[in-house]
Structure 1
Amino acid sequence: MGKYEKDAKDLLQFIGGKENISAVTHCATRMRFVLNDPKKADEEKIGDIPTVKGMFTNAGQFQVIIGNDVPVFYNEFVQVSGIEGVSKEAAKSAAKQNQHPVQRVITVLAEIFTPLLPAIIVGGLILGFRNILEAVPMGWLDGQTITEASQFWNAVNSFLWLPGEAIFHFLPVGITWSIARKMGATEILGIVLGITLVSPQLLNAYAVNGTSAAEIAADWSWNFGFFTVDKIGYQAQVIPAMLAGFLLVYLERFFRKHIPEAVSMIFVPFFSLLPTILAAHIILGPIGWRIGTLISSVVNAGLTSSFSWLFGGIFGALYSPLVITGLHHTTLAIDSQLIADFGSTNLWPMICLSNIAQGAAVAAVVYLHRGNKKEEQVSVPSVISAWLGVTEPAMFGINLKYTYPFIAAMIGSGIAGLFVTLFKVRALSIGVGGLPGILAIRPEDYLMFAIGMLIAIVVPFVLTMFFRRAGIFNKLDRVGEQMTPELSDYDTPREKQVLDMFSPLKGTVHPLKEAKDPVFAEGMMGQGVVIDPAEGKLYAPFDGQVSLLFPTKHAIGLVSNSGTEVLIHIGIDTVQLDGKYFEAKVAQGDNVTKG
């Protein structure tokens, strides 16, 4: 009988049996199930299985925490269940069946736009640089722009339009390709479809508003005798391209099922592509254009109304939580539509400021935890990353872990968003968030945006330090403060005994369950906390006596004057050091004083 055979059989039974499992895989510590009916899982009984340390549901997966032995448990589970495991990607794909419609939409948007981000970022930088060259009068050039004063930079500016146009004007090509790629259709058909939406034979989307209906009817239409179709391009348009891309995918899937394989190479592409192109120009394009215009008009109206400051403050504060949920991917499409309709966007400046605010909060944590070399390996790169527009390392690595920096960043971002909205700051392009985002801002808005950047740095930095010192939104980082109230947040006391205990180390406090040693993590040695030390000095947490000092000096036992026993254990498996690197300042039986 295997080590975990009984527990594996119990888990199989309580999870609803083999027939309830659509897919199963595992990661470093967890079994990851995709269940046909999540309601059949008896969480109470699963939680009673000795090997199981917890469970939760995320992104359509029912995850059961096993611990470091999960590979062994997984192999025995596969044997007793007769279910072959799948790859993590296959499990994620299967998990989509358990996502509600909003989650599925967000997932699809993320999968469409993520492959396009490198090009969009480069395009944003290029257009931002071109703004400086051609649109900013320079005092040291007698009020001329750089392109007006220099033939060389005028040529550079003209040359840079090539990649800028390729990225943004031909964005529909990237969208239709990405949809075909992600949904398993023929990628080259997606590319061809995108090209038909931005062909030079069509009236450029940017020129539509300046062209009368009579001109379009006379010069920009296909006349089929009994009906006409406008020859309108969809440069930089997002929704028409998405609608066309999805139609192509579903038509290809349909015809692959119904056309014999012997002739599928000829007829599947033909019957998939041509009807999609026709529908894109007759139905989907005009409808998508109107939908996109409506969305961008509503957003633009909200950010230019008399209540714009309120809208800006709320969006600025809530953008970071949107990143956590994945909803922020929707803003990319809205930004693109705003630029296509109005020539600029008032949403992107607030997104840039939110990135800056998250980085500033981490910078405050770096300052507060200075000397913690281990944490700096995560925190310092996170600051740089956030200030260059990628906030996930900052949020998930530092700010969400401590909570109070994340809230400080939200408040700072909200104030900064309110400010730039009040002064009607707009961006001419999208691309790199964070500090380089100023390159995308309209030249006349540089000063106001710079002030917004300053707000997004100073306010989160100051609030992070204040929240930590005052203990507001802060339960894990109370260095040097009384720890007793927090102990109940981590583990339920076995005895109702209160001890005023102060931090024995400078460092960061974590729940005991985060200890890497299961003996401590599971509370077998009693309640407690884990501290990541910032320096190698241990102080007495209360007045008392040294009851035990191990010969290896890696652990010390203390008894308070009120009789409470406490064990302080330094590191994991440090007994093997046999006392090396440790220096004791006390001996067994010595009295100690707090601090």
Structure 2
Amino acid sequence: MAKYTNDANQLLTLVGGKSNIKSVTHCITRMRFVLNDLSKADIKAIESLDSVKGTFTQAGQFQVIIGNDVADFYNEFTRLSGIEGVSKEQVKADAKDNQNWLQKLMSNLAEIFAPIIPALVVGGLILGFRNILEGVKMFNDLGQFTLKEGTQTITNISPFWNGVNHFLWLPAEAIFHFLPVAITWSVTRKMGATQILGIILGITLVSPQLLNAYGVAGAEAGSIPQWDFGYFQLNMIGYQAQVIPAMLAGFTLVYLERFFKKIIPNVVSMIFVPFFALLLSVIVAHTILGPIGWKIGSAISTVVYSGLTSAFNWLFAAVFGFFYAPLVITGLHHMTNAIDLELINQTATATQAGTTLLWPMIALSNIAQGSAVAATVFLNKADAKHKEVAIPSWISAWLGVTEPAMFGVNVKLRYPFLAAMIGSSLAAVFSVVTNTGALSIGVGGIPGFLSFPLEKWGTFFIAMIIAIVVPFVLTIVFSKRKENK
């Protein structure tokens, strides 16, 4: 670690000294600071250090890109500075002091959805695989493979794969139909409430006693089961796969628990706080918040769906594809998770899985950012320091994580960022015009094709080619124009 002593000492001085550091931690490749006064940091001097590959500021954190040796650098930095590192959660909490109310809201939403995303990715891949098994007719009446449209699927001709397909619905159903359980748990986890109560609240939203949400639209008048209280009746409707009702219910539980903790004596709080908080949350969820949340979710998804399926869908796609990357910078992109899930719910039927046209554009934007970085690698073949940052960022973006690519390379150079935005916009237009919908949220990069029905692989591959070629070429063109000025 002695090789980092000089740079660590200089970094301490250049960020404004020990007194300017509120907290510090590190992730896989970056030092993450919360500074009392960001203006005291000498960014140009910091980026000139041999160990530093770049810097950026996001969500109230000043992040310094070190690379794969960041843990060693961090240990040397904390030893020299005498500053004790903190957890990532503490850094996030401290960083909120540097955020406005909108950034705080988006940060909270991001932290609610982040723990759920791995499950959604797994579910998307499972649905994609099941679609190949049961939805693609690739065999004729004799059970022979055909390149033309056949009459039988894999599940029709193979008992084994039919069993596999049937079995795989077990985890897929748990992920998507019971999504409200994950959301209410994540809300209570994020807000510091009792997590088991959040889980139980979520279960009450998807209980088998209730009419499945997917069956409500097709239910005949008078056939919806009800709770009969004599003076009034309440429909027994489930909220399978519903996002907004679950979030509203989760927040209600959190604030009710906080309220009752304040007014109920400690000696009996263990009994009465969870009792009143959970019972009232369940009542409010099924009488007020569930129906309201359903309407809000439907309204949002209807507006987005109308834009994606109207005569001007190409314009909607062009604008979204162009501005999605700037949304990532602001943190507002996290709200698209809920919209995607609402779109899938809205287009689903009792016999057919729903799709979303929004998520494919997000995957294509990620690919476009990676392609622009790839072009900078091509342009700077002799620059070892640039390649050390750019190549991992390029790979990361193509696998669905764009922050290293954007903040480490594209935003700093500007013209690759613009090239990626243009390529993303053109790819998004093609994706939407060809109605290339994904079965679920999946891996947001090149592996994302697994989240699509097989019949849409072709159009998504073409969209990916657009997202790869256009930003790469434009980055080179823009760089030449910049050199000629």
Q: Same fold (TM over 0.5)?
A: yes
Residue 392 of structure 2 corresponds to which residue in structure 1? Answer: 381
Alignment equivalent of 1:331, drawn from 336, 340, 346:
336
Alignment equivalent of 1:403, drawn from 414, 437, 444:
414
CA shift in 2, pair 1:71/1:382, >3 Å: closer
> One-letter code of the match for 2:158?
S
1:61-460 alignment to 2 at 5 Å? 89-90=89-90, 92-97=92-97, 99-138=99-138, 141-142=145-146, 143=150, 144-216=152-224, 220-342=225-347, 343-460=354-471
Contact in 2 for aligned 1:312/1:418 (Cα 8 Å): yes
Instruction: Quote the Cα distance in structure 1 between the aligned partners of 2:214 and 2:85.
Output: 52
CA shift in 2, pair 1:263/1:34, >3 Å: farther
Contact in 1 for aligned 2:355/2:440 (Cα 8 Å): yes
**1:468 Cα deviation from its structure 2 partner:** 1.7
Contact in 2 for aligned 1:34/1:94 (Cα 8 Å): no
**1:98 Cα deviation from its structure 2 partner:** 5.2
**1:85 Cα deviation from its structure 2 partner:** 11
Is 2:477 the counterpart of 1:466? Answer: yes
CA offsets 1:255-295 (integer angstroms, 9 cap, x no match) = 11111112111111101000000110000000000000000
Contact in 2 for aligned 1:34/1:62 (Cα 8 Å): no
CA shift in 2, pair 1:189/1:151, >3 Å: same
**1:164 Cα deviation from its structure 2 partner:** 0.8
Alignment equivalent of 1:24, drawn from 7, 22, 25:
22
Contact in 2 for aligned 1:302/1:308 (Cα 8 Å): yes
1:484-503 alignment to 2 at 5 Å? none
Tell me the secondary structure at the aligned position of residue 222 of structure 2: helix
Contact in 1 for aligned 2:185/2:198 (Cα 8 Å): yes
**1:117 Cα deviation from its structure 2 partner:** 1.1
Which structure dedicates a bigger proportion of its chain to helix?
2
Residue 491 of structure 1 corresponds to which residue in structure 2? Answer: none
CA offsets 1:214-271 (integer angstroms, 9 cap, x no match) = 111xxx1111111111111111100000000000000111111111112111111101
Structure showing greater relative contact order (alpha-carbon pairs closer than 8 Å, 6 or more residues apart): 2
Tell me the secondary structure at the aligned position of residue 199 of structure 1: coil
CA shift in 2, pair 1:357/1:60, >3 Å: closer
> One-letter code of the match for 2:425?
G
> One-letter code of the match for 1:452?
A
Instruction: Quote the Cα distance in structure 2 between the aligned partners of 1:60 and 1:380.
Output: 26
Tell me the secondary structure at the aligned position of residue 328 of structure 1: helix
Contact in 1 for aligned 2:25/2:91 (Cα 8 Å): no
Contact in 2 for aligned 1:199/1:233 (Cα 8 Å): yes
Structure 2: segments with no counterpart, 5+ residues: 1-12, 48-55, 64-73, 348-353
Tell me the secondary structure at the aligned position of residue 229 of structure 1: strand
Contact in 2 for aligned 1:345/1:429 (Cα 8 Å): yes
Structure 1: segments with no counterpart, 5+ residues: 1-7, 16-20, 36-40, 79-83, 472-477, 486-595
CA shift in 2, pair 1:449/1:30, >3 Å: closer
CA shift in 2, pair 1:149/1:401, >3 Å: farther
> One-letter code of the match for 1:100?
N
**Structure 1 length as normaliser, TM-score?**
0.66
Tell me the secondary structure at the aligned position of residue 235 of structure 1: coil
Tell me the secondary structure at the aligned position of residue 225 of structure 1: coil
Count of equivalent residues: 436
**1:397 Cα deviation from its structure 2 partner:** 2.7
- In our comparison, the structure showing a higher alpha carbon Rg is 1
Contact in 1 for aligned 2:204/2:282 (Cα 8 Å): yes
Identity %: 60
CA shift in 2, pair 1:460/1:86, >3 Å: closer
CA shift in 2, pair 1:352/1:199, >3 Å: same
Tell me the secondary structure at the aligned position of residue 116 of structure 2: helix
**1:435 Cα deviation from its structure 2 partner:** 1.7
CA shift in 2, pair 1:101/1:423, >3 Å: same
Instruction: Quote the Cα distance in structure 1 between the aligned partners of 2:186 and 2:95.
Output: 21
**1:329 Cα deviation from its structure 2 partner:** 0.7
